[in-house]
Structure 1
Amino acid sequence: MIKKVLQYIILGLAVYAAMVMLVVNFYKDDPSAMIWQDREAFNKRFIEKLSVDSDVELEEVLETLGSPDLTYVKKSDDDVLQIVFYRTQLVKPDGITTQDECTGLLFENGKLVIWGPSAIVAYEKGKGSL
C-alpha cells in the first residue's frame, strides 16, 4: 500500500516537472500581457543582450518586445531613420511614459545601428552612426 502511494507521488512529481520544463522552454513571453514592471524588466534584459556584431532588424525587435512606447521616423538622403523607445526605467510614477524613462534603439533602413543615449544624438544629427 505504501509502495503504491509512493509510486503515485513520484509519478505526480515527474508529470509536474515535465509540465514546468515545457512551459519554461516553449512558452513565449508576450509583452502586451505583462504588467508594466515586468515589461520594463523584460525590455531592459533584451536591450542589455544586444551586441555590436549582432545583425538585428526592426521586425525582430517588434516581434520580441511588441509595440514601442515612443517612435519617430525621418528620411535623410536615401536612408530612413527610425528610433523606437522602450521603457526600461521608471522616473516618475505619473502614468505617462516619457523619453527619459526609455531606451532608444536607432534603425537605419530597418537595421539596428545604435542604441542607448547615443541613439538619440545620432537620430537628431540625421545619421545612423556618430
Structure 2
Amino acid sequence: MNVFYRLCLVASLSLLATGCVFIDGKHVNKDDWWDTQRDNREAISRLEIGMEREAVINRLGAPDDSEAFNTDDGKEVRILFYRTNHKHSDGETTRDETTPLVFQDDVLTGWGHSVYEAVR
C-alpha cells in the first residue's frame, strides 16, 4: 500500500505543477499573438500604396487600434494600428507595438511611424 500512496502523491503533485494561463476566460497561447504579429508583418509588406481601406481590412482583419480626423484642407485621415512588434508582456497591445497604416480619403498613403508622425 505504501507504493500506491506514493504514486497517488506523485500524480497529484504533477497535476498541480502544470497549468494554463487564462485571461478573460480565454486560454492564452503565446503562439497566438506571435503568429498574429508575423502574419501582420507579412501582410503589411505586401500592401500597395493606393489600396482602398476596405481591401486592407479584408486582408489584415480588424485593427488593434485606430484613430481618425479631418485635416485643415478637409481631407479625412484614418490610421489603423496593427500589432507587429511585441515589447511588453502586460497583456495589452500598446501603440509602440503596432505599425500604423495611414489612409487619406480611404486610400492607403503609407505606413510606419514616420508616416504617422507626418500626418499628425
- TM-score (normalizing by structure 1): 0.64
User: Which residue of the other structure, out of 29, 39, 42, is the alignment partner of 1:42?
Assistant: 39
Cα distance, 1:105 vs structure 2: 0.5
Amino acid at match of 1:49: R
1:71 aligns with 2:66: yes
User: Which residue of the other structure, out of 59, 63, 66, is the alignment partner of 2:54?
Assistant: 59
Q: Which aligned runs of 4 or more in structure 1 are off by greater than 3 angstroms?
A: none
Taking the aligned partners of 1:80 and 1:118, their CA distance within structure 2 comes to 19
The equivalent residue for 1:5 is: none
The equivalent residue for 1:82 is: 78
Cα distance, 1:50 vs structure 2: 2.7
Q: Is the 8 A contact 1:83 1:123 kept in 2?
A: no
Report the structure, 1 or 2, having the larger helix content.
Answer: 1
Instruction: Report the secondary structure of 2:76's partner residue.
Output: strand
Instruction: Report the secondary structure of 1:35's partner residue.
Output: helix
Gaps of 5+ in 1: 1-33, 125-130
Cα distance, 1:70 vs structure 2: 0.9
- TM-score (normalizing by structure 2): 0.69
Q: In angstroms, what is the RMSD of aligned CA positions?
A: 1.5
The number of residues matched between the two structures is 89
Taking the aligned partners of 2:35 and 2:65, their CA distance within structure 1 comes to 18
User: Which residue of the other structure, out of 87, 91, 94, is the alignment partner of 2:87?
Assistant: 91
Taking the aligned partners of 1:112 and 1:48, their CA distance within structure 2 comes to 13
Taking the aligned partners of 1:73 and 1:95, their CA distance within structure 2 comes to 25
> CA 1:64 to 1:50, structure 2 compared with 1: closer, same or farther past 3 Å?
closer
Taking the aligned partners of 1:65 and 1:49, their CA distance within structure 2 comes to 11
Gaps of 5+ in 2: 1-30
Which protein shows a greater Rg? 2
Cα distance, 1:48 vs structure 2: 1.5
Instruction: Report the secondary structure of 2:110's partner residue.
Output: strand
